[in-house]
Structures are given as structure tokens and as C-alpha cells.
Amino acid sequence: MKARKALAPLLSCTLAAAALPAHGAGEARPFPQHTVYTAGTIKPKAQNQAALDRAVRDFYRVWKAAYLRSTGEGERYVFCNAENIFEPKSTRSVSEGHGYGMLAAVLMAGADPEARADFDGLFRFYRAHPSEANPALMAWRQVAKGSAIVTRKSDRDSATDGDLDIACALLMADLQWGGGGPIAYRKEAQKLLVAIQAAETDSRRHTLTLGSWVDTQSPQWGGLRPSDFMPAHWKTFAAAAAAPESGEWTRRTDATYRVLGEVQAAFSPRTGLQPDFVAWEAGAYRPAPAGFLEGPNDGAYGYNACRVPWRLGTDYLLTGDPRARALLAPLNAWVVQATGGDPGKLNAGYRLDGAPLQPDSSAAFVGPLAVAAMADPARQAWLDALWADLLARAPGGEDYYGNSVKLLTMIVLSGNWWQPLPP
């Protein structure tokens, strides 16, 4: 389901919208936040804080102009197929990208006076395209049909990663704007968390499934997408969910950290790379075989797993969880050695032993590795090089996926990511 390298001509930089004023509009946490991350972590030193903030604002304007669309009915969506990377070409939205859009809107509120209107429009689109498994979940894909955007029957299952980001964005919106408006953000988040618990979990192993379409009869039953592991989100969910779901999020966090640790120790102790998918076979977890879900490289570090360093790094920055840093340490060491400290030598995908999959490049790999580097003060030069690489990448050289991951990781890298975590 993930996007690949851009297939269309470069986006013009004229996509940039008119400058967005940098002031709040009643937000509790307006951008920039300058969050105090875990002691001992680092940020890019190549620019001062004002320049970091400005880089994020500038790229957000370009991203928003390129990808945020209105249906004309008070709904908004993230246009995922501007570069024709999805089949069918009529694809307009996927739940993964919708979650990215909702996170971006709530985090950039204060820099963008339209942020709440955008967020509420994104919420309405999400609710207008429910999964058939549970109406609180989002159907994974929407397509154009004439002038309308619809969900085909074949696309009415959910994808867990999109639902997780949407739920977290709703909890952030409750802190950002409160619950006194037309949308009760916290209640909507709690409904979504109940739906995730009902339709996207493997309660026996305290893990999440790939989506509502996976059941005990599916070949993918018991399997995981490591990039679905968003531990800082899950700690937020544990604080927000009602019992007994609250305790289950804590157990789920512990179980998934354990699984990733086991997979890394057995299959990638030198590189620290995680696979796109993990399968449950003969009572144990292992990298998924070819054809498990998306293709021949399902057991490699590809366009799904590239997000793992971002999610783990964010957890370490916000909560100081030592398990995150332990998983990132071999990855940080290996990637610097493999590239000689030159981001230009990064590949968009590796086998778990470190062999490159193909001579390709994407911001979707660069941004998350930069977040991982923030966990290790010895990686300052590497972090600065990765930040410079992100800034040098023309928006038109990336697709929706690369640009979206770039935006969200830049928010982390600039010190502006926050979540309504418990004290």
C-alpha cells in the first residue's frame, strides 16, 4: 500500500502557497513549540532554532499546496496520487496519508491560521469513508468517480497505520483546541481506539494486525508491520483509553518492543534494520517471506520499515524509553559506516544484512534516519548531513509519500513534535 518513487515530472516550486502568518489563533500549543526532548539528545546544529522553524514552515506551505485538497463539501483529504504512484490512477486518498495530514495540521496550528478548518475538514472526510468492519475505522482507499470521491467495496477494509495516526491526531487536537467546538475530538479518538481494539488486534499475543481484513484464517494472521509500532502514540492511548483497553496499550507496547528486539537480535544484529513485515511462523517471529503481502522484498527494510527509526526515535525523544535507544544504536552505527557519513550514498531499501536492494533514493529513508541520529550525541555530524540532505531535496523529486514523511520528520528534527503524554 505504500508509495514508491515519484513517476511524474517534478512538481513546480510555484505550488507554494502564499506565506502563512506565524501566529496563533487560540491554540494551546501553537507552532513552534520547541519541545524539551530527553536529556542528551541532539538537534541539527547546522542551523539555529529560528532557521529550523523557518525551514519547517516553508516546506509545510509547499506540502499543503501540493497535497491538501477540498471536496467542496466541507471535507478535505490528502491527495496521494499527484505523481500517479497508485493503481488505479483514479486513487485520490489512502488512510495512511490521511493520518499524516491530520498530524501535520494539528502540529502546524499557529503557523497556519487555517489549521483547525483543515483538521476538521480532514476529520469529516475520514468519517465519510468508514471501513465496513467498524464505522469508526477509515476505509483504506478512496477513488474518484466522476466529480465525487467514493470508497469502492473492495477498498472498505482498514489499514492499521492510518487509524493509529488519526487517533493520535484527534487526541492532540483535543489538547490544541479543546472539546467545545462542533467535533468532540477526545470522544472521537476514544471511539476509534475501541474500534482498533475490536477489529485490528491479536489479543493472544498483545499485538496489532495489519488491518481489519486480517483474521485467524488469513495467511497474514499473527504478522506485524513494524512501522505500525508507534510507541509514543501508544503511551498516549494508554492514558486516554478507558479500562480495560488502557492496560492493553501498555501490554501491547511491551510486547512489540520485545518482538522487534527478538527479530533484530536474530536477523540483523549488525545493521539494526527491521523488515517491512514480520511473520508468525512455527511459534516464532521472523522476517516475512517473499510475497507475504506486497512483493518479493517483504522481509527487507523497504518503504514500510523505513519509518521505524522515526517512530522509535520519537519515542526516545519524548519519553526517554531505553528500549528505543537500544534498538536504534546498531542502526546508527551501521548506517554511518555503510555510507561513510554521506547521505548521498543512502539507498531506498536494504536487505537485513545491509546489502542494498536497488540504486534508489527517497526522503522517506533520510528523514527517519535523521530522527534516529538524534538519540546519539556522537552522531552530530551525521545528523547535520542528513538535515542538509533533506533541505536540498526539491519537492518535485519526491512523491506524496517521501514528501509527507519528510515534513513530519522535519517537525521532529526541529524540536517541534509533541504529544499529550501523561506526566
Active site amino acids: 96, 161
**CA angle 404–406–408, rounded 5-degree value:** 70
33: Cα within 13 Å, side-chain hemisphere? 20
Is the peptide bond between 32 and the residue preceding it cis, with omega within 30 degrees of 0? yes
Distance CA 23, CA 297 (A): 45
Contact 23, 110 (CB under 8 A): yes
Identify the residue whose cell numbers are 539507498. Answer: 347
Beta strands in 235-355 (DSSP E): 278-281, 284-287
| 274: DSSP letter | -
Would you report the helix, strand and coil content of the chain in percent, each value rounded to 5? 50, 10, 45
Cell of 395: 519537492
Q: Is the dihedral of CA 1, 101, 312, 381 positive or negative?
A: positive
42: exposed, middle or buried (C-beta count within 10 Å: 0-12, 13-18, 19+)? Answer: middle
Residue 112's contacts (CB-CB under 8 Å, 6 or more residues apart) are 20, 31, 60, 64, 105, 118
